[in-house]
Structure formats: structure tokens, C-alpha cells
Amino acid sequence: MSEQVHSAPPGGWPIEPVNADRWADNMLKNWKVATYHKGIELQKRNISLPDIDNCAPGEFVNTPRSLQACLYLGIDPQEIENKGRDYFVERGLRLELQEMKFQYYEKERKEKIIKLTEERNRIIKEHDTASIISIESNIVTQHGAEGKKGAATTAQLKADQKAEAAHRRQEQDREKKKKFEAIRAQMQADAERVLAMQKKKHAEQRAEKIRKDKEFAARMREMELQRLRDEEELERKARKMAEERYKEEMALEVANAIKLKKAKKAARLKEQERAQKQAEFQKQLEQMQEDIIKEAMKKMKELQARDAVRKRLQAQKKKEMAEINAMVRAEAERRQADALATWLGFLQKRKDDYAAKCEALRIRRKEKMILWRKMQKEKKEAEAKKLQERHQILLNSIAIREKRAMGIKKKSNDKERALRRFLRQRDLMRWHHNVEQNLQAGAQYWRCQGTARKQALHRRQLLDEIELETRNIRALLDGRLQVQKDRQLREAKSMWALAR
């Protein structure tokens, strides 16, 4: 089996593939080993292409014709390994995507197995044809040997058969080389066309990007120039405003200085005038104080005389008032006794009237209370009825509102489920598209690997042919050289014999 090269699972899992030339060398070596061990009873199980579907994971084809078919088509035996669904299980990946990977891998594997089976049948058919030709040649050779003794040896016949088989293989290889060259030329033309289209597309994208970059740079340059012009205009206005403010501040400072000087002068004059007025006022105040003191002394003497007269009048008036008060007190006591008797009679009458009024009021209150209780009872019954009606209306409105809320909630849930279903379907479609793209990219990658392996095998066959022709030419040259040496030796011997 070739060196372990775990081919990438569908979806593009990271791998490190073997170089195509080294792969071709390993496959040739394994093919030769399988051919050498053919027919030998080994412990290792022989697995051919028809048996690959019944193999367990990790088992690969190892029979000579199957390996030869894989070698000719550039398909590694591990690419047709029988892998189960468990191999494609990936954490976080949906089951349908895992199934999609498995189905895609199985499809690719079946197609490769069909191609390999056709190639294997072709190889078997060519081998059978060559065997029949070899048997017929042996029969003809045996009859010829009986009729003509010494015509040719068995080794020469085998050499002729090998040469004929080699010639047929060379013809087949030439046909394969022609087909391969045609396919390679077609693939190269397709690759060049795709490369030209990609270059053209990249050139257009680069030109569009350059144009957009130039437009953006022009816009940025225009914006920068406009910003600079605005800043210059603002700076000029600020400078002008600063100059005007400086002039105004200087004029204001000069005016303030003049005003301050005038104010100091006026203050000085006012201070002098105030000092003068204060001196005059001090003199007037002293004069007024003297006048006031004199007037006060005069008034005090008048007040003392008036107090003496007032005290004398008060004593006389007090005596008269005492006599009047005694008379008034006696009259007042008499009037008070009459008034008290009258008041007591009035109070008794008022008390009787009040009792009668209270009784009438109690009767009216009792009637009013009975009427009020009746009205309250009717009012409570009406309120209870209204409350019951209101409660029923409220229950009906709550039921209607709950019904509407349930309808709205149901619609919201339906919309939410539809939205979730749409988002899930959209995500699934996106994942499906991504996985499909990865699978197609992986298949394209392995097709390129198969082409590279075929090219490596072709190069190896060409090198083997060149090496075989080189060995043949070297053997021919050695034979000619040996013939020349033998002739020279015979000539030398003849000359030496003649000389003797």
C-alpha cells in the first residue's frame, strides 16, 4: 500500500497530500510488490475492486490489476475507501448536511470505482490477448522445431515474444500518451482561457478600484481644500475681530482713564466742599444744641406748673367720681336684681320652648331616619344591581379581551414560527450551498491531483523508456567496441603470424 495519504473528506478538511512524483514511485513499488506476491499464500487479505464495497473502513485494494488501474488513472486507493456515515459525523453540523457529505462522497467513490473497473477490465483483456498470442506462438514454435532442427532456440523464441509484447505495450503507451497529450492540451487551453478571464476580471476590478480611489482622493482633496479655505476665512475674521476688540478696549481704557481722572478731581473738590460744609454744620449744630437746651429748660418749668394744676384737678375729680360711683353702684345692684329675675323667667320659657322643639325635632328626625334608611336600602339595591351589571360587563369585556389577546398571541406565535422556519430554511440553504461549494472544490482538487499523478506516471514512463534506450545504445556501443577490439586483435595476430 502506498504511503498513508488521508484524502480530504468532502467539505475540504485540511490534509497534506503526497507529491505526485513520489506518489507515482510508491504506487509503482506497491504494484511490483503485489505482482511479485501474486499467487503466494499470505496472511494479508487480497482485496480487488469488486470486493471494495464489502470491505471495512481502513481496508484498501491491494491486487495487481486493481493497483495498476489506480496507477493509470491517478486515483489513490484511499479515495475509494468504504467509509461509513460515522466518518462524516462532525460536532455542530446538522444531520442533513452530514448525510449530504456522505452521499456526495459515495457518488464520487462510485464514479471512481466504475472508471477503475473499466480500466481493470481493459488491462485484463489485454493480458488475456497477450497470453493467447504467446500460447499460439509456443505451439507454432514447437511444430517448427520438430520440422527444422537447429532453426532457433527456445530462448530466442521467448526473446521474440517479449519483444513483441514490449512492442505492443509501447504501441499502447503511445496511444495513451497521445490521448493524455490531447487531454492535457485541452485542459491547458481551458486553464489558459479561465486564467485569461480571471486576469481580465481582475484588471477590470483593479481599474474600477483605481478609479474609485482617485474619485475618493479627489473628494478628500476638495474637502481638505475647502476646510483650509474655511479655516483661513475664520482665522482672518478672528484676526479682524481681535483688532477691532483691541481698538475698542484701548479706546475704552483711554475713556476710563479720563473719567477716572475727572472723577478723582470731582471727588477731591467734593471732599473739600464736604469738609467745609461739615465745619459749618458743626457750628450750626452747636448753636442749635444751645438753643434746644434753653428751650428745654423753659418747657420743663412750664410742665412742672401744669403738673401741679393737673394733680389738684385730679384729686377733686376723684372725690366727685367716688360719690357718683356709690350712687351708680346702688342703682346697678337694683337693676341687676330686676334683670336677673327677668332673665330667669326668660330662661325657663326658653327651656320649655327648647324641650318642645327638641321633641318635634326628634319626631322629624325619626321620620327622616326611617325615610333615609328606606332610600339607602333602595340605593344599595340599585348600586348592587349596577355593580352586578358592571361586573358582568367587565367579565364580558375581559373575556373578549382575552379572546382577542389569544388571537393576537396565536397570530404572533404563528408569525414567529414562520419566521423561525424561514430563518432555519435560509440558514440551511446557506449551509447547504457552502457545503456544496466545499464538496465541489474538494472534488476539483482531487481531479487536479489525479491529473498531476497521471502526468507524474507519464514522466516516469518516459524516463524509463529513455533509460532503457540508453542501456540498449550503451550495450550496442559496447558490442561494437568489443567487435572492433576483436578485429584489431585478429589483425594483430595475423600480422604477427605473417611477420614470423
Give the pLDDT confidence of 124-150 residue by residue, as tens digits: 888 766 555 554 455 444 444 444 444
Average pLDDT for the chain: 78
d(Cα 11, Cα 270) in Å, to the nearest integer? 107
Q: Is the pLDDT of residue 174 over 80?
A: no
Three-state secondary structure readout of the chain: CCCCCCCCCCCCCCCCCCCHHHHHHHHHHHHHHHHHCCCCCCCCCCCCHHHHHHCCCCCCCCCHHHHHHHHHHCCCHHHHCCCCHHHHCCCCCCHHHHHHHHHHHHHHHHHHHHHHHHHHHHHHHHHHHHHHHHHHHHHHHHHHHHHCCCCCCHHHHHHHHHHHHHHHHHHHHHHHHHHHHHHHHHHHHHHHHHHHHHHHHHHHHHHHHHHHHHHHHHHHHHHHHHHHHHHHHHHHHHHHHHHHHHHHHHHHHHHHHHHHHHHHHHHHHHHHHHHHHHHHHHHHHHHHHHHHHHHHHHHHHHHHHHHHHHHHHHHHHHHHHHHHHHHHHHHHHHHHHHHHHHHHHHHHHHHHHHHHHHHHHHHHHHHHHHHHHHHHHHHHHHHHHHHHHHHHHHHHHHHHHHHHHHHHHHHHHHHHHHHHHHHHHHHHHHHHHHHHHHHHHHHHHHHHHHHHHHHHHHHHHHHHHHHHHHHHHHHHHHHHHHHHHHHHHHHHHHHHHHHC
| pLDDT score for 162 | 64
d(Cα 471, Cα 468) in Å, to the nearest integer? 5
Contacts of 305 (CB under 8 A, 6+ apart): none
Chain segment 237-292, per-residue pLDDT in tens: 888 888 888 888 888 888 888 888 888 888 888 888 888 887 887 888 788 878 88
Look up the pTM and report it. 0.41
| pLDDT score for 37 | 67
Which amino acid, residue 349?
A: K
Chain segment 367-387, per-residue pLDDT in tens: 888 999 889 889 888 888 888
Could you tell me the three cell numbers for 185? 492540451
- Domain coordinates in residue numbering, the chain: 1-151
37 versus 304: the higher-pLDDT residue is: 304
Percentage of the chain with pLDDT > 70?
Answer: 85
Chain segment 10-41, per-residue pLDDT in tens: 434 334 566 777 887 888 888 888 777 664 54
Q: Is the pLDDT of residue 152 over 80?
A: no
Could you tell me the three cell numbers for 267? 471727588
Residue 467 backbone zone (phi > 0: left; psi -120 to 50: alpha; other: beta): alpha
179 versus 160: the higher-pLDDT residue is: 179
